[in-house]
Amino acid sequence: MNLFLMRHANAGLSRENPVLDAKRALIKEGKEQCVLMARTLSALKVQVDVIVSSPLKRALQTAQLVGTEMGYDAKVEISPALGLDADYGDFQQMLAKYVEYDGILAVGHNPNLFQFLGRLITGNGGAAIRMRKGSVARIDLDKHPPLLQWLIDPRSARAIYASVQKSSRPNTSRK
């Protein structure tokens, strides 16, 4: 199984009130990050069978926008195991629920998302991996221990797209 862990896209500044913060929506930059990362995943030929999101608005919006852009037509599933107060045991139970799928996109939050990633690939959580907003990590769960295949953030994706758009062929026109 390939697990694609994604941190929600940019939703602006956090709010002190937890109720209001849970309802915080993506800002324009965050929506652009979703489109960019979905196109990047599509270019990498990523196939997802199920998309699971944290219940918070910014994560759900990220999951829905990325799913729509990738052509995912099923409903995004919501799991508290990807919420702010989830622990690794909750996360493992969520993964067990989707074990029959080949590709899972799970959208959540830092700090628990990068802690889950670190614990998955080291077994003890000894890895410190930075996941910027909108980042996606691909983990091959069939390997023992699970193997981090790649981690792409929106900055890297933008840089790759910019370099691809420039022609690598020399200008030979004599006009």
Q: State percent of the chain over pLDDT 90.
A: 74
C-alpha span between 95 and 168 (Å, rounded): 43
- Six-digit token pair at 43? 């270019």
Per-residue confidence at 173, pLDDT binned at 50, 70, 90?
Answer: low
Q: Which residues contact 66 (CB under 8 A, 6 or more apart)?
A: 6, 34, 37, 38, 41, 51, 105, 107
The residue among 53, 62, 56 whose CA lies nearest residue 9 is 62
- Beta strands 147-152 and 136-140, pairing class: antiparallel
> Is 66 or 125 the better-scoring residue by pLDDT?
66
The residue among 170, 175, 117 whose CA lies nearest residue 148 is 117
Q: Which residue has the tokens 């910027």?
A: 132
- Per-residue pLDDT for 107 more than 60? yes
Answer whether 109's CB lies under 8 Å from 100's CB: no
- Per-residue pLDDT for 169 more than 90? no
pTM above 0.85, yes or no: yes
Answer whether 104's CB lies under 8 Å from 48's CB: yes
Neighbours of 29 (CB within 10 A): 15
Domain residue ranges of the chain, discontinuous segments joined by + = 2-141
Answer whether 70's CB lies under 8 Å from 43's CB: no
Domain covering 2-141 assigned CATH 3.40.50.2000 in the classification: no
Q: What share of residues in the chain are helix, strand, coil (percent, to 5)?
A: 40, 15, 45
